[in-house]
Structure 1
Amino acid sequence: MDRRSFLRTSALGGTAAAASSLAAPAYAQGKRTLTMVTTWPRGLAGVWDSVERVVNNVNDITDGQLTIDAKGAGELVGALEVFDAVTAGQADMYHGADYYFVGQHPAFAYFTAVPFGMTAPEIMTWYYGGEGKDLHHELGEIFGLRSFIAGQTGAQGGGWFRSPVQSADDFKGLKFRMPGLGGQALSRLGASVQVIPGGEIYQALSTGALDATEWIGPWSDEKLGLQEVCDHYYPAGFHEPGAALSVACNLEVFNSLTPAQQRAIEVASADAHQHNYSVFIANNGPALQRLISGGAQIQEFSADIWNAFGNASMEVLNGFMDDEIFAKIHNSAQASLRESSQWLAQSDSAYSQQRNRVLSEM
Structure 2
Amino acid sequence: MHRRTLMQSIVAGSIVALTGCHRTDSQFQNPSISAKEGMPAISASASPYIRWRMATSWPKSLEIAFGTAGKICQLVGMMTNGRFAITPYAAGEVVPGLEVLHGVRSGTVECGHTASYYYTDRNPALAFGTSVPFGFNAQQQNAWLYGGGGLELMQRLYADFGVITFPAGNTGAQMGGWFQKPIQSLADLQGLKMRIPGLGGQVMARLGVETLTLAGDEVFPALASGKIDAAEWVGPHEDERLGLYKIASYYYYPGWWEPGTTYELQVSRAAWNKLPGEYQEILKAAAMVANMDMLARYEAANGEALYRLLLGNVQLKEYSPEILQAARQEAWDLYADIARGNATFKQVYEQWRSYRKQILQWHRINELSFARFAFAKV
Could you state the TM-score of these two structures normalised by the residue count of structure 1? Answer: 0.89
Corresponding residue of 1:331: 350
Tell me how far apart the structure 2 counterparts of residues 229 and 348 of structure 1 sit (CA, whole Å). Answer: 37
Is the Cα contact below 8 Å between 1:40 and 1:72 reproduced in 2?
yes
For residues 163-242 of structure 1, the aligned pairs below 5 Å read 163-242=181-260
Residue 294 in structure 1 maps to residue 312 in structure 2: yes
Tell me how far apart the structure 1 counterparts of residues 288 and 61 of structure 2 sit (CA, whole Å). Answer: 21
- Letter of the 2:343 partner, please give it: E
Q: CA deviation at 1:329?
A: 1.5
Tell me how far apart the structure 2 counterparts of residues 140 and 109 of structure 1 sit (CA, whole Å). Answer: 12
Corresponding residue of 2:129: 111
Q: CA deviation at 1:105?
A: 0.6
From 129, 132, 145, the counterpart of 1:127: 145
From 126, 140, 160, the counterpart of 1:142: 160
Q: Tell me whether 162-171 or 268-277 shows the greater mean CA deviation.
A: 162-171
Tell me how far apart the structure 2 counterparts of residues 174 and 109 of structure 1 sit (CA, whole Å). Answer: 23
Tell me how far apart the structure 1 counterparts of residues 364 and 49 of structure 2 sit (CA, whole Å). Answer: 48
Tell me how far apart the structure 2 counterparts of residues 211 and 108 of structure 1 sit (CA, whole Å). Answer: 27
From 236, 243, 246, the counterpart of 2:261: 243
Q: Matched residue of 2:369: which SS?
A: helix
1:134-191 per-position Cα deviation (integer Å, ceiling 9, x unaligned): 1121111111001011000011111110111121121111110000010011111121
Q: Tell me whether 305-314 or 28-37 shows the greater mean CA deviation.
A: 28-37
Is the Cα contact below 8 Å between 2:245 and 2:314 reproduced in 1?
yes
Work out the number of aligned pairs and report it. Answer: 332
Tell me how far apart the structure 2 counterparts of residues 252 and 327 of structure 1 sit (CA, whole Å). Answer: 29
Corresponding residue of 2:33: none
For residues 257-336 of structure 1, the aligned pairs below 5 Å read 257-322=275-340, 323-336=342-355
- Letter of the 1:169 partner, please give it: A
Q: Tell me whether 223-232 or 43-52 shows the greater mean CA deviation.
A: 43-52
Q: Matched residue of 1:337: which SS?
A: helix
Structure 2: segments with no counterpart, 5+ residues = 1-45
Residue 355 in structure 1 maps to residue 371 in structure 2: no
Is the Cα contact below 8 Å between 1:43 and 1:49 reproduced in 2?
no
Tell me how far apart the structure 2 counterparts of residues 135 and 148 of structure 1 sit (CA, whole Å). Answer: 12
Corresponding residue of 2:59: 41
1:84-121 per-position Cα deviation (integer Å, ceiling 9, x unaligned): 11111111111101100001111110111111111111
Q: CA deviation at 1:29?
A: 5.8
Q: Matched residue of 1:320: which SS?
A: helix
Is the Cα contact below 8 Å between 2:47 and 2:83 reproduced in 1?
no
Tell me how far apart the structure 2 counterparts of residues 235 and 226 of structure 1 sit (CA, whole Å). Answer: 15
Extract structure 1 runs of 4+ deviating beyond 4 A. none
- Letter of the 1:175 partner, please give it: K
Structure 1: segments with no counterpart, 5+ residues = 1-27
Corresponding residue of 1:16: none
Q: Tell me whether 193-202 or 57-66 shows the greater mean CA deviation.
A: 57-66
Tell me how far apart the structure 2 counterparts of residues 159 and 302 of structure 1 sit (CA, whole Å). Answer: 14
Could you state the TM-score of these two structures normalised by the residue count of structure 2? Answer: 0.85
Q: Tell me whether 45-54 or 298-307 shows the greater mean CA deviation.
A: 45-54
For residues 70-89 of structure 1, the aligned pairs below 5 Å read 70-89=88-107
After superposition, the CA RMSD in angstroms is 1.4
Is the Cα contact below 8 Å between 2:61 and 2:241 reproduced in 1?
no
Is the Cα contact below 8 Å between 1:217 and 1:235 reproduced in 2?
no
Is the Cα contact below 8 Å between 1:148 and 1:248 reproduced in 2?
yes
Q: CA deviation at 1:355?
A: 2.1
Percent of aligned pairs with the same residue?
34
Tell me how far apart the structure 2 counterparts of residues 119 and 347 of structure 1 sit (CA, whole Å). Answer: 15
Corresponding residue of 1:69: 87
- Letter of the 1:214 partner, please give it: E
